[in-house]
Structure 1
Amino acid sequence: MNKDKQISNIAIKQVALIAIILVLTGLICFNLSLFIPSVLGAITIYVVCRRYNFYLQEEKKWKPWLSAMVLMLASLIILILPVYFIVDLLIDKLGNAQVYMAKFNVFLDKIHSYIYSKVNFDILSKENMDKVKGFAGRFSTSALSGTFNTLTVIMSMYFILYFMLERPRLFEKVLSSSAPLKRANISLIGDKLRKLIMANAIGIPVVAIGQGVVALVGYFIFGAPSPVLLFALTAAASMIPVVGAAIVYIPVCVFMIAEGNTGQGLGLAAYCLVVVGLTDNLLRFTLLKKLENIHPLNTVFGIIMGMNLFGFMGLIFGPILISFTVLLIQVYRNEFSDEDSPPDLELPGKDNDEDGKVNLIV
Structure 2
Amino acid sequence: MMNKDKQISSVAIKQMSLLAIIVILAGLICFNLALFIPSVLGAITIYVVCRKYNFYLQEEKKWKPSLAALALMFASLIVLILPIYFIADLIIDKLGNAQAYMAKFNVFLDKIHSYIFSKTGFDILSKENMTKLKDSVGKVSTSALSGTFNTLTVVMSMYFILYFMLERPRLFEKILTTSAPLKRSNISLIGDKMRKLIMANAIGIPVVAIGQGIVALIGYLIFGAPGAVLLFALTAAASVIPVVGTAIVYVPVCIFMIAEGNTGQGLGLAIYCLVVVGLTDNLLRFTLLKKLENIHPLNTVFGIIMGMNLFGFMGLIFGPILISLTLLLVQVYRNEFSDENTPPELELPGQDDIKEKLI
Is residue 211 of structure 2 the alignment partner of residue 183 of structure 1?
Answer: no
Structure 1 stretches of 5 or more lacking a match? 345-362
Match of 2:163 in 1: 162
- Greater Cα shift, 47-56 or 318-327: 318-327
Match of 2:196 in 1: 195
Deviations 1:129-155 (A, max 9, x none): 455445544555445544432222111
Match of 1:221 in 2: 222
Deviations 1:86-113 (A, max 9, x none): 1122222224555544443433332222
- Offset at 1:334? 3.3
**What is the Cα-based RMSD across aligned positions, in Å?**
2.5
Match of 1:153 in 2: 154
Query: Contact conserved, 1:147 with 1:311, CA < 8 A, in 2?
Result: no
Is residue 188 of structure 2 the alignment partner of residue 205 of structure 1?
Answer: no
Is residue 77 of structure 2 the alignment partner of residue 76 of structure 1?
Answer: yes
Structure 1 Cα separation of the partners of residues 197 and 310 of structure 2: 19
Structure 2 stretches of 5 or more lacking a match? 346-359
What does 1:114-133 align with in structure 2 at a 5 Å threshold? 114-133=115-134
Match of 2:66 in 1: 65
Pair 1:7–1:207, CA change in 2 (3 A)? same
Query: Contact conserved, 1:198 with 1:291, CA < 8 A, in 2?
Result: yes
Structure 1 Cα separation of the partners of residues 344 and 184 of structure 2: 14
What does 1:229-240 align with in structure 2 at a 5 Å threshold? 229-240=230-241
- Report SS of the residue matched to 2:244: coil
Structure 2 Cα separation of the partners of residues 312 and 281 of structure 1: 23
- The one-letter code matched in structure 1 to 2:207 is V
- Offset at 1:245? 1.1
- The one-letter code matched in structure 2 to 1:22 is V
Deviations 1:268-291 (A, max 9, x none): 112212322222222222211111
Query: Contact conserved, 2:92 with 2:144, CA < 8 A, in 1?
Result: no
- The one-letter code matched in structure 2 to 1:85 is F
Pair 1:10–1:126, CA change in 2 (3 A)? farther
Query: Contact conserved, 2:243 with 2:301, CA < 8 A, in 1?
Result: no
Match of 1:268 in 2: 269
Query: Contact conserved, 2:306 with 2:319, CA < 8 A, in 1?
Result: yes
- Offset at 1:223? 2.0
Higher relative contact order, chain-length normalized (CA < 8 Å, sep 6+): 1
- Offset at 1:120? 1.9
Query: Contact conserved, 2:257 with 2:266, CA < 8 A, in 1?
Result: yes
Structure 1 Cα separation of the partners of residues 252 and 71 of structure 2: 44
Deviations 1:142-174 (A, max 9, x none): 455444322221111111111111111111111
Query: Contact conserved, 1:306 with 1:313, CA < 8 A, in 2?
Result: yes
Match of 1:112 in 2: 113
Pair 1:112–1:18, CA change in 2 (3 A)? same
Match of 2:42 in 1: 41
Structure 2 Cα separation of the partners of residues 55 and 160 of structure 1: 21
- Greater Cα shift, 83-92 or 333-342: 333-342
Structure 1 Cα separation of the partners of residues 191 and 341 of structure 2: 19
- Offset at 1:340? 9.1
- Offset at 1:41? 0.7
- Offset at 1:25? 0.8
- Offset at 1:331? 2.7
- Offset at 1:261? 1.6
- The one-letter code matched in structure 2 to 1:39 is V
Query: Contact conserved, 1:334 with 1:342, CA < 8 A, in 2?
Result: no
- Greater Cα shift, 25-34 or 304-313: 304-313
Pair 1:174–1:126, CA change in 2 (3 A)? same
- The one-letter code matched in structure 2 to 1:179 is A
- Offset at 1:114? 1.1
Q: Aligned pair count?
A: 345
- The one-letter code matched in structure 1 to 2:169 is P
- Offset at 1:200? 0.8
- Greater Cα shift, 321-330 or 212-221: 321-330
- Report SS of the residue matched to 2:79: helix
- Report SS of the residue matched to 1:149: helix
Pair 1:139–1:321, CA change in 2 (3 A)? farther
Pair 1:329–1:229, CA change in 2 (3 A)? farther
Query: Contact conserved, 1:39 with 1:160, CA < 8 A, in 2?
Result: yes
Match of 1:55 in 2: 56
TM-score by length of 2: 0.87
Query: Contact conserved, 1:302 with 1:319, CA < 8 A, in 2?
Result: yes
What does 1:304-343 align with in structure 2 at a 5 Å threshold? 304-339=305-340
Pair 1:221–1:38, CA change in 2 (3 A)? same
Match of 2:92 in 1: 91
- The one-letter code matched in structure 1 to 2:10 is N
- The one-letter code matched in structure 2 to 1:172 is E
- The one-letter code matched in structure 2 to 1:13 is K
